[in-house]
Amino acid sequence: MAAVPQFEAFELTPQTSSAIIAAAARTVCHAFSDDPLIRWLRPGKKSWSFIPPALMAWQKRRIYETMSSGRVFGIRNVSGVAIYDENARLPGVAFAYGPFKWKLWLSRLPTRLWLWLTAQEADGSDQNRVALMMAEHDATMASLDHKLKAPKWYIEVVAVDPDLQGLGLGKQLLRHVLDVAGPASPVVLESTKESNIGFYNKMGFQLEHVMSITDGKDTADESTVQMWAMIRESTKTM
């Protein structure tokens, strides 16, 4: 009988091997290959499941950019020796941003300097649509900040390798991020699929706001995308 795989959550840092960073980048690409927001941002482009060198470089840089001011978490299989070859993917990856901490900010200065000195790769997104998305995101986050009146955590990405979905890895990964955030901090995320709302509800999140973004060129369905802002309020009892 084959052994049941065992998985654990861990944190990726700027000191994590480049092979593991690359594996995390592949996971995000494959997990979001059919994502409505990604398709909307990249009209006419190939799915993220096709990863040319430029996209791979962009996705890895995105991971380092998150590390420069936030946190990157992963899920790894600890049942045996992991081999991080050119096709390897982590079982799960999450990007999260917590309240500002001087210690983290100072520890990531070399990463920010490296990012500043190196060129930015393009991912093929429509920059007008990126700007529209970010304007809606910023307005929503400002509204939530006003409501919460407390420093929040923001979870930008929760990605699970499509080949490993159904094993509870998304729950394990999200639970780890929530444990790091702690019960006193409200946590915010934006779901890009309505079908994921039920999962987040079970993890303690409630729907707060629905964002509808249209690129302004026309009102066809393919020119509009939605995101669902959700909150897990502080669970610390006074």
With cut-offs at 50, 70 and 90, classify the pLDDT of residue 1: very low
Q: Closest Cα to residue 186, out of 152, 229, 147? A: 152
Coil, helix or strand for 90?
coil
Q: Read off the amino acid at residue 234.
A: S
Q: List, in order of start, the domains of the chain with CATH numbers.
A: 7-118+126-232 (3.40.630.30)
> Of 178, 204, 206, whose CA–CA distance to 73 is shortest?
178
pLDDT above 60 (res 88): yes
- The reported pLDDT for the residue numbered 79 is 76
pLDDT digits (tens, 9 = 90+) for 27-72: 999 999 999 999 999 998 999 999 999 999 999 999 999 999 999 9
Quick one: average pLDDT of 221-232?
88
Least confident of 196-205, 211-220, 224-233: 211-220
pLDDT beyond 70 at 81:
no
Residue 175 has pLDDT above 50, yes or no: yes
Predicted structure pTM score: 0.92
